Structure 1
Amino acid sequence: MTEYNKSVFQGIVVLNEKYFPSTWNFTAKVGATSFSLQVIKCLYENSRYAGLILYKRDESLAYPVVEEKYIENHPVITLRFNFKMETHLIETALESAIFKIVIRSSYFAPPIVYYQTDTLLKYHPQQVPGCITHHGPFVDDFIKNYSATESYIAFENKEKACHLAKLQKEGLTALKQKENIYVLQHSELQKTYITKNGFDQRNIFRIIPPISLPNVKDITLRDEILQFIATKKDEMLLISTAARVDYFKNFDFLIKVSVKILEDGMPLKVLIAGDPKDKEENRIALTNLIPDYLKEYFLVIETLPQNELYSLFKLCRNQATFVCTSRYETLGITPLEAALIGVYTVIPNSKLVEASRYFSEEDKFYYVSDQLEDILKRIYEEKRYIGNHQSLNISELISYKYFEKSLLKSLQKIEQKFSSELVLVN
């Protein structure tokens, strides 16, 4: 349990039911889910966790349905609704869900509600403080830095990009209109975007991202991966993993550069993991970029569950290089985890990839094939993947302990700010 000036509050977390894991050994589909689960962990370990609201859209309903349940250490209220319902009905249902948890809680303290996304912000009750981390990717910011055409690729198609842009705009509007909603800032990219869109900077509280050195006790890796990473003495191993294979992750850039390095005669192996096992079309598209005579040097597989991912990183510590080629990341959890474990990591030199702020200039590259090629060849020649200099530097900046302290301190400030403003109003 961390040490901090204890202000009385209890935390309630609101999460989309489809993202709540059935097992803790999972790869989060979106970064916001991983972040939310760390918020729950912190609140629980510090006796500030009151419970969880799981919401789900149900188009068959005419009125919202609020039900109580219990899921191993989680007092849970489920909320079923749809956006065709009258606003006041959803507001009343959400307020009811919040106070059902408060009543069941043993803490007897004012609640603070943490939202995974901005979906329910406009329905949040006035008499309770709420907060959100507000993860991206932000469609209009992506368009500003790339193009509308590229956004249609990144968000799968024009219809989805436009729909998400509309929802994000509505979410920002709700965020600005609700005087009792605060932002937990986990990145400068996030802060810059929401302040440029009119959110009051005084209601932003900075927290350290919840990334720490995983405790890997037992190595769990399938034979296919174990055989592939068993490199020869003079071979270099590159790793790049993500929950999804999409335009954001830019894996095709890594493949293009790797093919060129192999054609230049440098011994290399490349492991890429992403997308669920049953969604293989994007992995097939990546594999098709590789010349047949070089395919034996690549392994493109489905995304790895957490225990396998951390096992991979532990086995490859001081032996491999993790390559992040993302075009846009409001944080970038996986490259930071890889670096903390001891897998030497390189990352784009871009203000649009938040994790790059934690890396030194010598570990960064611009989106130019020759630059990435040169830095990888230099790593190979100098064997820079051996040693813990990078991981030590990053561990001075980011850890679960720092996250825990900053989160609890920020929630304390939110509770105090809300209470003082409430007194002024009354």
Structure 2
Amino acid sequence: MWRQPKTVWSVAFACVISFMGIGLVDPILKPIADELGAGPSQVSLLFTSYMAVMGIAMLGTGWVSSRVGAKRTLLLGLALIIIGAACAGSQDTVGGIVAFRALWGLGNALFIATALATIVNAAAGSVGQAIILYEAALGVGIATGPLLGGWLGGISWRWPFYGVAVLMAIAFIATATTLPATPPAARPTSIMAPLRALRHRGLLTVGITALLYNFGFFTLLAFTPFPLDLGAQQIGLIFFGWGLLLATTSVFVAPAIQRRFGTLPGIVGALLGFAAILAAMAIGTENKTVLILGVILAGAFLGVNNTLITETVMKISPVERGVASAAYSFVRFSGGAIAPWLAGRLGEKSIHLPFWVGAGAVVLGVLVLLTARDLIGALDAQPGHGAEPVGSRIEAEAVTVGDA
């Protein structure tokens, strides 16, 4: 698995940097707010613009890549991330940072939607080995994003943005020089295909469930640094623990839970566990130990949920996997876009309220999911469901659409 062409390593490296972008800004949210005189709801728009644009753009990534080819799509995505990150670090207003985070989100959508297929096509050895390599890159990116953000943010809140721009520039050069030209697809993808796919009840139900639990997820991610009120490096270490636990459970624990209990019980258990943690954080918001333990332990439940619910997305509808992924991402990232801003607004009234609302949204997501229990239960009856190795194509394709 480790004897791969330069193309694979360059794209895998770019994947690590791309997935860092989710948690990179966590440690610097409060420093940005303090230096620029902004409130939590204003700073949380860094997440809102990023996730909103990425979700909408997911509808068109297949349309773009099928017409210009994978290499050009990857390079376009990397170029937009470089511009977005560098310009975000050069702004003197929150509005300017938010605008360039939106550009970053557009680039990220184009890149991550194409990276997996590129690695699989270029890798030596089996498809399973290539996917394990991709998942390893994803896990490293998730875990190290907050760590890098905290380390560089200890110097200045601008440095994490510049650091990403430099690393992505290296990835751009490596991808441009090692990846061979890729022609457009013989049959271009329709831009309306993901929206048509949402007519399927199972896919729409799972998407709405993800939208609702994203309220809890981004409350944890975007608001918790404010009541913690710690330095950038300390916040980075806390969210490094969160990301490490999320990556570990998504790869090793989720398949075991699925085989032992089934898909639906596994998802429901993970979401209810996450809701309980948010409720505990709502009660103990003024206790930093409660918040720190809550953030880290939440990673375990989110890791299990991400793997199980995204595999469900890939199998629950009869549409092509890429189309299902785009449709699901479009719906779920709506929650990712609204939740950070809402948590910030609620937190300006009461530091306890965002966690209560997040916990309630996650429980509501469970109730929505149970309306499709017959469809999800039928998946476990399919031959081989859940029995594939951790590096299976299905799990990795699901992760590609943003389950970091």
TM-score by length of 1: 0.26
Higher relative contact order (CA 8 A, sep 6+): 2
- Find the structure with the greater CA-based Rg: 1
Task: Give the structure with the higher percent strand.
Answer: 1
TM-score by length of 2: 0.27
